[in-house]
Amino acid sequence: MKEKFFMKSSIHLSENRLSELKQFFDSDLPLTKFVHEPYKETNGYFKDKWFVTIYIEESDRNKLHDLYQKWHDEDYPLEKCEGFFKKIFNFFNCF
């Protein structure tokens, strides 16, 4: 039988992300457990964020990373940029 390895991870989340994280654990990562109850930071850089410490199976860390990546893409969408030559063409075309 394959031995399971767990790793400990700590993160700071906003309140709406905390509920989403709990649902994700229930549906996709049933072996992931909270080390302690999430608590809200009251001062410092992470003020008004929830601090969470979890034990996660080592093989499931990529699923959690994909969730973090999804959140990052939602919070910081890529701006569509024009090409360099298109900007020059538009600049000279406006005269």
Cα–Cα distance list, 89 to 29, 31, 82, 92, 94 (Å): 52, 57, 11, 5, 9
**Residue 95 pLDDT:** 52
- Architecture, CATH, for domain 6-93: 2-Layer Sandwich (3.30)
Q: What is the mean pLDDT of the chain?
A: 86
Claim: this prediction has a pTM higher than 0.85: no
Query: What's the one-letter identity of residue 12?
Result: H
Rounded CA separation 4/23 (Å): 23
Asked if residue 89 has pLDDT above 80, the reply is: no
Averaged pLDDT, 54-64: 91
